[in-house]
Amino acid sequence: MPVVIELTNTLREMLILSRLLQQLFNYKESSYLAWPDNDAMMLAHASLPRGRKK
């Protein structure tokens, strides 16, 4: 039966790894989704008139 135990341990490790990878991917995806908003904000800020023109 030690083979079965080893298999279950490997499966558990794979599950944990896949869960971690999924969290990483979700985090990356959400940060990528936030990028266009940041760019739009930067562009809007850059196009604002700076101070008064004399």
Assign 3-class secondary structure to the chain.
CHHHHHHHHHHHHHHHHHHHHHHHHHHHHHHHHHHHHHHHHHHHHHHCCCCCCC
Q: Does the structure show a pLDDT above 90 at 11? A: yes
User: Is there a domain that residue 54 lies in?
Assistant: no
Domain boundaries, position 12:
1-47
Q: Tens of pLDDT along 14-30? A: 999 999 888 887 776 66
User: Is there a domain that residue 29 lies in?
Assistant: yes
User: Is there a domain that residue 42 lies in?
Assistant: yes
Q: Based on the structure, what is the number of domains in the chain?
A: 1
User: Is there a domain that residue 52 lies in?
Assistant: no
Q: Does the structure show a pLDDT above 80 at 38? A: no
pTM above 0.75, yes or no: no
User: Is there a domain that residue 53 lies in?
Assistant: no
